[in-house]
Amino acid sequence: MRNRKSLKALAVSLALAVSFGVSLTPVHAASTEILVWADENRGPNLSKVIAAKGDWVAGYKVVIRTFSSFDALKAAVDAATDLTGPDIIIGANDWVPTGAKSGKLAPITLTAAVKAQFNASQFFDLSYKGKLYGIPLDINNVAMIYNTKLVTTKPTSFGDMVTYYKANKVAKGLKAGLCVAGGGMSWGAHGVFSALGADAYLMKKDGTVNYGQSFNPSVFGNNVKTYLLDSNKKSNGFFPATDTGCKDNFLAGTVPFAVIGNWEWADYVAKGFTMNLMPVPGATAGTYGKMFGSVNGALLTSYAAKHGSEAAAKSLLVNLFASTAGQVAYQTYEKRPPAEKGAQSSSVISDAQKGFGSSASLAGIPQIGAFLNNNKGGASYWDSAPAYWTAVLVDGKDAVKEARKLAAIWKTNVISGQADL
Amino acid sequence: MKWLRENLWRHVVGIFMVLFAIFPLYLVVISSINPSGSLQVTSFIPRELSWKNYQMLFNDPTIPYLTWMKNSLVISVTVAFLSVVISASSAFAFSRLKFKGKKSGIQLLLLIQMFPAILALSAVYVIMERVAVFAPHFGLGTQPGLLLVYLGGAMGVNIWLLKGFVDSIPAELDEAAKIDGASAMQTYWLIFVPLAAPVLAVVSLLSFIGTFNEFILARLFLVDMGSRTIAVGLQGFIGGQYSQNWGPFAAGSLIASVPIVAIFLSLQKYIISGLTAGSVKG
Amino acid sequence: MVAFFRGKLAFTLKVILLSIISALLILLALSAFGQKQYVIGIFIILVVFGANFTYLTKVSIPLKFFYPGLIFLLGFVVAPIVFTLTMSTYNYKTGNYIGKTEAITQIQKLAIEPDASGSTFDIIVGKYNGSESAILASDTVKKQYFIATYKERFDLNAADLKLNQYQVATQAPNFTALADSELAGADKLLSTSRFFYTSEYFVALEGFDVGALYRQKLNFLSERDAFQNISTGAIYEDNGKGNYANLDLPTEILEPGWRAPIWFENYSKLFLDPKVREPLIRVFIWTIVFAVSSVLTSFAFGLLLALALNKPIRGRRIYRSILILPYAMPSVMSILIWGGMFNTEFGAINQLLGTNIAWFQSVTFARVAVIVVNLWLGFPYFYLVSSGALQAIPSELNEAAAIDGATPRQIFSKITLPLLLRILSPLLIASFAFNFNNFNLIYLLTGGGPKSTLDGDIAGATDILISYTYQIAFGSFTQDLGLASAISVVIFLLVASISLYGIRKSKVLESFV
């Protein structure tokens, strides 16, 4: 009895449910949106640009989605599929090789006129196997700043800085001599590696990579011993193995020299520092440690084609991101050095930014992700570089022996990285 | 003398542990009033005192701090309430009903908790991305979507904890009900739920805290500025590509922890008895 | 009251509630089917049938209690586990990420090369003779103008055209431009369209107003499921591992690949590839050490405190209020603060101790730091549960023992502690399971480091299995979800069997389960 009643109720409820369900079927409109994903800094600024002028691509609405942090953006980019993924990602140049290899990014071809507005090496940063995957947006580079309240003469060699440190360590309560405040112990610290003789790869005079050679580990290792270690083979305190607290200490006047990033110069100016920028001076007077410069780009995804907005996304890349007007509008808020040449000469660019530019042109090295991201040697540049500092400055391992390992890793990475160029 | 012998060690242990517990918190307070925005301790006594970081949280239009707080509270309260409502009945069944496969069911539940669920991140993302396609209000990027995922995640732990609590409630009461002819459902609603209310409250408090703290899923799910939770919003201060703003982070965390600490302190007696009730058999 | 739960009204209410829920879920399922999300749609339908079946029949009473919880467990815990299991049999990593059909589309799209001079045109998209899709193209440098359809190209004279100030043709005979509103709808078609230039070259769109000249390098032979290089004739066939590989040179593969089933290759790699196996074993051992010592230290300190404060001494309330603060603070916050405190040069710990220890760069110190922080996070919980448990132990027991002449130490070790352990063992096991997968702590505190990268270390010294797996699955440059899934599954089997064996052997849970 009860069972039959239950079955009846079941039938009734299902019938109800189905009729209710059928009466409402969702309607989907054709996509006239271009979805752009960006991090917590660039996203809000791009939104301001779009709010001021929305018609960068006629007939389309540009939607900016801002993630809570750069890490969150990266995690979402990794997890996304074409179902909800973006048409354009504002991301680091590092993301290009992996994204392209996995088929998440799509290539774009630019007209000669657009290409002429950028430096060729910036396109190189955003290319994989000869195809371009995005538009260079802003430039990230570092330079060394020195505190004129402490150091009166501009150092000409690495030794000058060490001498100053040793002489004034106690009197001025210095916590370190030189430290890396911007870009971390791998990217930011390349200037220091290079100043002491260890370049991630060597370039020929004509600007091509010298595959036959890598840095000389005994020269580098002995420089490390001379300048960074004391007689007990322990760190002499001149160069800390981590970047934590570097910025604060420089600002507090307890570290005279620091490698800083061009995205944070305003913090230094606000504390009353003048932008005495230069590359890290080399072991031999008159030489300089070479520093990386990289670009962040607006990258085209392969999802755009699936969403039916690829042509529109390409138009947006050209009209907004690759145009002087677009980059000026954006950098008015973002205040990083723009990649586009017209925007570079615009008045939104500060003198400090120009200081970074000039020290980069004095001692810059193109940042070739294919070599630096490669880990065929056992670890990528990004992982092995900080490990060297730890091994020598913290664990007290032999500077030359560790340098040999480092040289071997980097050499293998560069050689096998050729395939990804 | 006797007092000393009996109680001195108690105070020594107590003071030592209090110092250990409070030291990092003291540093948070200092950083939150430090205008330089760094975590570096130049001295243990603050030299400068500034409300800059606090003002930033409430006055900066790009930091909808109060909205984050509201989102966190809404999500956490909902999860805390619903997850306990749902898991309590399962816990009751595990504890009171006799059925085949009960023992393996409990063991299975324990084992599921041991699965390294970090890869579930991509699985959950894929699932919710698909849901977003046909039900945009429950999928990826929405608070209800995140809520569903949290409910799923909380289920195992809560059933496991609640089962322990339920065991501690004397069985005589519901057996008496059974003799009176009540069905299992009736026993559950009329006898068990009122009896278990205190422990249910404690478990929901634990769920509340767990949800309030979660940020790995939340940062993937809640992208729009206005829909973020406090953990995601705060993590954004220090998860930047280039810079870390410890000052507002410290200030924001301090304020965010006020409600939880307040609940804890006001209910501490209750929580202690609730927490252990689960493991102590009557 | 009881009568109410049995009455007709209750039954009607139940049916109405069920109907509403069923209706909503079926609505969801239908829209899932509408969007081709069949698996989820079927799952929802099954949930609906299950619910009606469970609550309207009397087949299983326990199921009525389990059902809602079960659905959530299935949907958000078991389904991801099944997903992980499936992934573990796939070649699913950087380079092999998308589906095969998408990969073929992408390969075709990438297999085009521009002409030698990289010619591009300013274009206008429109219709030729009112119906045929076409572009009006201008090369403003060479003063070349033409209309191209899919099949033909018509060269035009500048004189017949209307040019704008940049010398770009805007109007031409027999050509009607698409309005902006039409462009948006045509995007999908346009971005795959190839407009005729010569028999070899074609023009493809690079945005709505730019076109570039390309030729195809690879042809897809669909009947053979292979690609052929048009100029060299080389054949690229499906190599069964998610890539098209050159028949004569198997290492030469086309990118991107797709995720392809490779069955047990990820598992065999775990055991056969020393580069994968050795770090895994080390990480596993440390994970156990970490989880056990975290539980033991937190429990020991928590218990000590509970014993100390088990008497109503002066200030007990204040102690208690402060002692539970670490538990009540958001842990993300406290972990990050601890990270700052352990900094070598500037951290509070070194300042306090007057030392210069590089905490996170040295293996031993980093491990100590991790456990100390976890102790800070964990001891309040054990303090709370232990003091509760202490109060629950009948005081007659202790008194009786004291009368029998037992010393306080004997009472503690012979009576109190065993009882406590018995009471708290489920919580200890739960805490072990939690710490075994305590991702947040490691990820936020040390990131798994330190790592002797120069000596070839892949895993960091404080990496626990879950953080190591996370690195493999979501690392910055190479991601291997397949391998990471296989690791997860193996870890799970190991832990599950150890725990099951432990439970059966020790009978700790006998009374509990």
Tens digit of each residue's pLDDT (9 = 90 or more) over A152-189:
889 999 999 999 999 999 999 898 999 999 888 999 99
pLDDT in tens, C182-211: 888 888 888 888 999 999 999 999 999 899
Residue B282 resides in a domain? no
B207-223 pLDDT per residue, tens:
888 888 888 888 888 87
* Yes or no: domain C112-216 corresponds to CATH 2.130.10.30: no
- What is the mean predicted confidence (pLDDT) over C20-29? 89
- What is the structure's pLDDT at B279? 47
> C484 or C348: whose pLDDT is higher?
C484
Furthest C-alpha separation in chain C? 119
Residue B193, pLDDT score:
82
| pLDDT of B282 strictly over 50 | no
Write down which chains contact chain C via at least 3 CB pairs under 8 A: A, B
Tell me how far apart the alpha carbons of residues C492 and C374 are, in angstroms, rounded to a whole number. 23
pLDDT at C89 over 90: yes
Instruction: Give me the pLDDT at residue C473, please.
Output: 86
- Architecture in CATH for domain A142-292+370-420: 3-Layer(aba) Sandwich (3.40)
With bands split at pLDDT 50, 70 and 90, how would you rate the model's confidence at B78?
very high
Q: How confident is the model at residue C159 (pLDDT cuts 50, 70, 90)?
A: confident
In this complex, the residue of C19, C31, C346 whose CB is nearest that of residue A13 is C19
- The number of domains in chain B is 1
* For residue B63, pLDDT beyond 70: yes
Among the partner-chain residues A104, A112, A405, the one whose CB lies closest to the CB of C97 is: A104
Of B112, B116, B149, the CB nearest to C469: B116
Query: In chain A, what residues touch B140 (CB-CB under 8 Å)?
Result: 84
Q: Tens digits of per-residue pLDDT, B183-200?
A: 777 888 887 788 778 778
Q: What is the mean pLDDT of residues A344-356?
A: 75
- CA C370 to chain CA centroid, Å, is 24
| Interface check B217 vs C, CB under 8 A | no
C 118-177 residues inside an 8 A Cβ radius of A: 118, 120, 122
pLDDT greater at residue A302 or residue C423: A302
Q: What confidence score (pLDDT) does residue A16 get?
A: 63
The answer, yes or no, to whether residue B64 has pLDDT greater than 70, is yes
How buried is residue B64: exposed, middle or buried, by Cβ count under 10 Å (0-12/13-18/19+)? Answer: middle
pLDDT for C449 beyond 70:
yes
Q: Report the share of chain C in percent with pLDDT over 70.
A: 96
Please give, rounded to a whole number of angstroms, the shortest distance from the CA of A210 to a CA of chain B: 31
pLDDT > 70? residue B41: no
**The domain that contains B89 carries what CATH number?**
1.10.3720.10
Alpha-carbon gap: A358 to the closest alpha carbon of chain C (Å): 31
Query: Cβ A40–B223 below 8 Å, yes or no?
Result: no
pLDDT tens figures, B98-115: 888 888 888 888 788 778
pLDDT for the residue A49 = 95
Q: Answer whether residue B21 shows pLDDT above 60.
A: yes
- The reply to whether C291 touches chain A by the CB within 8 Å rule is no
Higher pLDDT among residues B35 and A107, named by residue: A107
- Of A195 and B108, the structure prediction assigns the larger pLDDT to A195
Residue with tokens 């080389």, as numbered in its chain:
C234
pLDDT at B81 over 90: yes
Phi, psi of C353 (to 5 degrees): -85, -10
Q: Which residues of B touch C434 (CB under 8 A)?
A: 113
pLDDT band, very low/low/confident/very high, at C47 (cuts 50, 70, 90):
very high
Name which residue leads in pLDDT, B148 or C396. Answer: B148
| Residue A282: per-residue pLDDT | 94
Residue A24 confidence (pLDDT) above 70: no
Residue C9's contacts (CB-CB under 8 Å, 6 or more residues apart) are none
pLDDT over 60 (residue C421): yes
pLDDT, mean over chain A: 87
Q: Between these two residues, B62 and B250, which has the higher pLDDT value? A: B250
Instruction: Give residue C406's pLDDT band: very low, low, confident or very high (50, 70, 90).
Output: confident
Q: Does the structure show a pLDDT above 80 at A291?
A: yes
User: What is the tens place of the pLDDT at every residue in B167-187?
Assistant: 777 777 777 777 777 777 788
pLDDT at B275: 64
* Distance of residue A246 Cα from the nearest chain B Cα, in angstroms: 10
Q: What is the ipTM of this complex?
A: 0.85
Residue B281 in this model has a pLDDT that exceeds 50: no
Least confident of A380-384, C254-258, C383-387: C383-387
Q: What is the pLDDT of residues C287-321, one digit of tens each?
A: 999 999 999 999 999 999 999 988 888 888 888 88
Q: Tell me which residue range forms the domain holding B83.
A: 2-277
What is d(CA C329, CA B28) in angstroms, rounded to the nearest whole number? 11
pLDDT at C343 over 50: yes
Options 3.30.70.100, 3.40.50.2300, 3.40.718.10, 1.10.3720.10; CATH of C271-506? 1.10.3720.10
- Smallest Cβ distance to A312: which of C187, C453, C454? C187
**A241-245, B4-8, C165-169: which range is least confident on average?**
B4-8
Above 60 in pLDDT, residue A323? Answer: yes
Q: Which fold has domain A33-139+294-362?
A: D-Maltodextrin-Binding Protein; domain 2 (3.40.190)
Residue C498 pLDDT > 80: no
Is pLDDT at C394 greater than 80 in this prediction? Answer: no
Residue B199: how many CB atoms within 10 A of its CB? Answer: 24
Mean pLDDT check: name the lowest of A265-274, B15-24, C406-415: C406-415
Please state, in angstroms and rounded to a whole number, the distance separating the CA atoms of residues A58 and A316: 10
pLDDT at A10: 61
Domain boundaries, chain A: 33-139+294-362, 142-292+370-420
d(CA C341, CA C359): 10
* C499 vs C412 pLDDT, higher one: C412
**Model confidence at C372: pLDDT above 80:** yes
Size of interface A-B (CB pairs under 8 A): 84
> Is the pLDDT at B280 greater than 70, yes or no?
no
Q: Which of A10, A112, A17, A38 is nearest to A296 (CA)?
A: A38
- What's the mean pLDDT in B58-73? 87
Nearest residue on chain C to B10, judged by CA atoms? Answer: C308
- On chain A, the residues whose CB falls within 8 A of the CB of C190 are 311
Across C53-58, average pLDDT: 85
B40 — contact with chain A (CB < 8 Å)? yes
Q: Nearest CA to CA, how far is C471 from chain B (Å)?
A: 10
Predicted confidence band of residue C430 (pLDDT cuts 50, 70, 90): confident
Q: How confident is the model at residue A29 (pLDDT cuts 50, 70, 90)?
A: very low
Provide mean pLDDT across the span A123-147.
Answer: 90
Q: Is C348 close to B41, i.e. CB distance below 8 A?
A: yes
- The chain-wide mean pLDDT, for chain C, equals 87
Every domain of chain C and the residues it spans? 2-87, 112-216, 271-506
According to DSSP, the residues that pair with A294 across neighbouring strands are A140
B235 touches chain C (CB under 8 A): yes
Interacting residues of C80 by C-beta distance below 8 A, sequence separation 6+: B117, B119, B120, B123, B124, B127
Kindly indicate the confidence band of residue A28, based on its pLDDT and cuts at 50, 70 and 90: very low
> How many whole angstroms separate alpha carbon C268 and alpha carbon C270?
5
Phi then psi for residue C256, to 5 deg, are -80, 160
